[in-house]
Amino acid sequence: MKQLKLTGFVIFFFFLTESLTLPTQPQDVDDVRITQKFIEDNIGYITIIAFAQYIQEASFEEVEMLVKAMTEYRDKCVADRTLPECSKLANEVLLENICAMEGLPQKYNFSHCCRKGDFERRLCFFHNKKADIEFLPPLPTLDPEEKCQTYKNNRESFLNNYVYEVSRRNPFVFAPTLLTVAARFEEMTKTCCEEQEKANCFRTKAEPFIYYLKALSSYQKNACGALMKFGPQILQFINIAVLSQKFPKIEFKQLTSLLEDVSSKYDGCCEGDVVQCIRGRSKVMSHICSKQDSISSKIKDCCEKKIPERGECIIYSNKDDRPNDLSLREAKFIESDNVCEKRDADQANFMAEFLYEYSRRHPELSTPELLRIAKVYEDLLKECCDMENPPGCYRRAENRFNETTEKSLKIVQRECEHFQNLGKDDLKYHYLINLTKLAPQLSTEELTFLGKEMVIALTTCCTLSEEFACVDNLVDLVLGELCGINENRNINPAVDHCCKTNFAFRRSCFESLEADKTYVPPSTSPELSTFHAGLCQAHNEELQRKKDRFLVNLVKLKPELAGEELWSLLADFTNVVEKCCKAQEPEACFKEESPKLAAKSQAA
């Protein structure tokens, strides 16, 4: 996948299609009415997503009970919208129904949320979401033939169960994204169930939309984390940078109008209000297509498409051409004599316009780098505007910008050198060791996930001409995963400082971190002392997961060990697996070798 497409795909998440049963009407039809129809037609899926994301422990049977209640509510209100209960917000009704389910608040420990008022209740349910899903059972897997038979026998229950399982494992993913994944899953099921090689078909076709879900999940969590931890201004700056690069000919006034729609939808999406999220996203797409002549020359064909396809089309459209009359630099922010006066008149608007002008002129830079430049400029003006000769001071701004970008570039070059020198597996082990030493308090599942994501970022980007922006964008998403969404997430003092102090510069903050000195390792680790013959039946991917977990748990047990010692013990584990799987009685071999390996790990 080319970087242009990858960046558009990951960064432009808010233009995803509202798929499934959304009416395929042309763009000039009343979008509000179409969106409302979509919500009514998909009340079952929307209820499942909201419930499964809020109360991840709930069973599928409990979810189905709520779907029944919400479907009855919809039918009642469609028949008579003047009923008093039909004037309530959909999310309010949903949470009331969740709280009214007999015994459920006590069973899953959310009674305290049900006692709160509307806004506080919504936030309470949001804070109840858990990013670490190790408490959930493994995702159920069906034999392809069984899967096809189940789909054929009861399509609705089959798809509802899929949406439920995916939603509870992705509690922060926006509802339209999950609906799109569900639609693609059904398309894949229909196609593969007609094939002779069903297993191969499912494996091949599942990969793109699993990547799609992961990529969108990372960006959404990162954006919502920025909103929750740093407030709306940082989120506004992210959107300014993204939109200005994508649509460099858009006027600043038009951009600020679009940003009102983009920003307002985040409140619903980030807090898990699925209905408001869908409405907000539809409004953004309608805004863009209604003003396409002044926004971009690349989206005309997209906006003529039916609604389910237009979002995808906009995502994959190329960045618009830079206007011919756009100078290489915007002099008024550096060379003008009255920069300080303009800043003081309206600082928020002044900084927004600076970021807009700089971003549209620098399509080669990453979103985090553009935010760093804006922060450097803001700090420089604080310093310069208190001096006797401010212009003589802030005219050095270009040098500061170049120095900042040079530092970021060196970090990326160093990471890509790791990629070139280590190879894919050793690169992953390098990051598993480093990440576990930095944040040993995270679960083994989270740490192995983060290590894999770092490898994906570097293997995707380090051979591209757009290496810098690609690596910086994707690694920043990995850091967003590490830091999490909730502002009350605490890992350890050093990591928390990097996550919460400065959004734009958290990358360089993490670069300077060393192993966590506050961590007290456990006396033993059960996962390092017992291995069974089941490892011999594991597929390569599953065996690789076991090796990753072994390494992470080893670092958690012995964080003081150097990389060479850790790699040596990992090689010992690999040798034990190979030896015992070749033995006549593998289980007996593992029973004999496991204590030796555990003792060696403990003594290291």
Residue with tokens 């992961």: 214
85: burial class by Cβ within 10 Å (0-12, 13-18, 19+)? exposed
pLDDT in tens, 568-593: 999 999 999 999 999 989 999 999 98
The closest of 592, 543, 480 to 216, measured between CA atoms, is 480
pLDDT band of 211, cuts 50, 70, 90:
confident
Query: Which residues, other chains included, contact 321 with Cβ-Cβ below 8 Å and sequence gap of 6+?
Result: 248, 249, 297
Report how far residue 435's alpha carbon sits from residue 415's, in angstroms, rounded to the nearest whole number: 14
Report how far residue 214's alpha carbon sits from residue 481's, in angstroms, rounded to the nearest whole number: 11
Q: What interhelical angle do 90-100 and 118-127 show, nearest 10?
A: 70
Residue with tokens 């004599």: 337
Q: What interhelical angle do 198-230 and 252-271 show, nearest 10?
A: 110
The closest of 1, 2, 99, 5 to 316, measured between CA atoms, is 5
Query: Which residues, other chains included, contact 301 with Cβ-Cβ below 8 Å and sequence gap of 6+?
Result: 313
Give the angle subtended at the CA of 348 by the CAs of 344 and 352, to the nearest 5°: 120
Mean pLDDT, the chain, rounded, equals: 87
Q: Which of 264-268, 354-358, 528-532 has the lowest mean pLDDT?
A: 264-268
pTM for the full predicted model: 0.87
Q: State the SS3 of 576-597.
A: HHHHHHHCCCHHHHHHHHHHHH
pLDDT in tens, 534-550: 888 877 788 888 899 99
Q: State the SS3 of 339-368.
A: HHHHHHHCHHHHHHHHHHHHHHHCCCCCHH
Contact yes or no for 543/564 (Cβ under 8 A) = no
pLDDT in tens, 6-55: 444 343 433 333 333 333 333 334 567 777 777 888 889 999 999 999 99
Contact yes or no for 160/64 (Cβ under 8 A) = yes
pLDDT in tens, 282-339: 788 888 888 888 888 888 888 887 655 666 677 667 788 888 888 888 889 999 999 9
